[in-house]
Amino acid sequence: MKYFNIGEDKVSRLGYGCMRFPIIDGDNAKINEEEATKQLLHAIEKGVNYIDTAYVYHGDTSESFVGKFVEEHGLRDKLHLVTKLPCWKVETYEDFEKFMNEQMANLRTDVIDFYLLHSLDIKTFRKVKDLGVFDFMDKIKKEGKVKHMGFSFHDEFPAFEEMVKSYDWDFCQIQLNYLDTDYQAGLKGYELATSLGIPVVIMEPLKGGRLSNPPKEVLDLNDEFKPLSPSQQALKFPLSLDNVMTVLSGMNDIKHIDENIEMASTVDSSSITEADKAFYKKARDIFKSREQIGCTACEYCMPCTVEINIPRIFSMWNNAFLYDEADKSREAYKKYIEDGKVAPDACIECGKCEGECPQNLEIIEGLRQAQEFLEK
């Protein structure tokens, strides 16, 4: 296992994401603790030491399971415990303390090694900033309750730039994979954080598992790169970036753990070849050719005059073709409607969205085609 130095700590370059443990009876809140324990012990034995959970994972049960696991196996001194403050639940300064104390109790620890403001978009960031979160972070670091302070990001690059320059962060967490180089913070965000001396944690390196099971054209392309599996080829991309502290993977299979550990034990910034670069470019082109509409989910079109969730509709439509998920997308659309959301045919063709779209998309016609497909 390769490691990244941050202060006096050495962090495994593969992090164990604790939001996809094996479950019982299809209930996400019922962790299969026996299987999850076997898998965690296997990964730790192989050198993984960054254990990433959050307040809300597995129906608010992940932290408690991780705390119990670490205590029962006497592993606290060997691991970096990572969790995240649920910022969208915070309404007062006192809530910062309340949630952190609850999380420390869940994890059965008096020190959180890496603590993040969870899932920040610009609205949530400005809310917690106004509530005094910077003072809170200074306080808990001074008291020794938290070693390293960071944030996880879900918005567009301008929001990332504002956040990352606003505080003396120890690290930050962004979504990045070989397909999403221009999505949210993207490579621009990675480069900005690097220029500021802020280590980066990568989430969704396999895009929720989709890059492990890509379309046939990408699989055929991947054959040129054997013996790497599609997952390994995808993991190689973020692992090759030298300011990436760790790459998170929500592993729930021993085979997958071993595959990922193999990459985290071999890949460094000099590992990417010209052939790898050619693969990533060709794979992106294949995915791009399957896209139905070039929506980047920037949300400049929002709010819609009649409250259609335009980016969500286009995401379901695109995913059906990008990842061969027609049935899954149609089920998602069915649930979207059942939840009382506004259907595309409610569009009054006011044109406001098309006037705001930086991609100059034909949104009105796209909504019509998306609905026609998703309702089949």
Residue 320 has phi, psi (to 5 degrees) of -60, -35
Neighbours of 128 (CB within 10 A): 22
- Of the three residues 227, 256, 273, the one that is the final residue of a domain is 273
Residue 292 carries which DSSP code?
S
pLDDT bin (cut points 50, 70, 90) of residue 269 is confident
Let me know whether 110 and 61 are in one domain.
yes
CB 87 within 8 A of CB 124: yes
CB 308 within 8 A of CB 336: no
pLDDT (tens digit per residue) in 304-323:
999 999 999 999 999 999 88
Is 286 a member of any domain?
no
Asked whether the predicted pLDDT for residue 224 surpasses 80, the reply is no
Q: Residue 351: what pLDDT? A: 95
Is 285 a member of any domain?
no
Asked whether the predicted pLDDT for residue 222 surpasses 90, the reply is no
CA pair distance 178, 120, nearest whole angstrom: 22
Residue 67 CA to chain centroid, in angstroms? Answer: 22
Percentage of the chain exceeding pLDDT 70? 100
pLDDT bin (cut points 50, 70, 90) of residue 332 is very high
Asked whether the predicted pLDDT for residue 225 surpasses 80, the reply is no
How many structural domains is the chain composed of? 2
Which range in 134-148, 176-190, 215-229 is most confidently predicted, on average pLDDT?
134-148
Average pLDDT, whole number, for the chain? Answer: 95
- Of the three residues 218, 248, 273, the one that is the final residue of a domain is 273
pTM of the model: 0.87
Residue 244 CA to chain centroid, in angstroms? Answer: 14
In DSSP notation, 55-67 reads TTHHHHTHHHHHH
Let me know whether 220 and 332 are in one domain.
no
Let me know whether 317 and 212 are in one domain.
no
The rounded radius of gyration (Å) of the Cα atoms in the chain is 21
Amino acid at 361: L
Residue 280 CA to chain centroid, in angstroms? Answer: 20
Asked whether the predicted pLDDT for residue 283 surpasses 80, the reply is yes
Nearest of 99, 107, 64, 38 to residue 252 by alpha carbon: 38
Question: Poorest-confidence range of 3-12, 32-41, 284-293?
Answer: 284-293
pLDDT, average across residues 159-177: 97
Range of the domain at 361: 310-374
Neighbours of 364 (CB within 10 A): 15
pLDDT, average across residues 67-94: 98
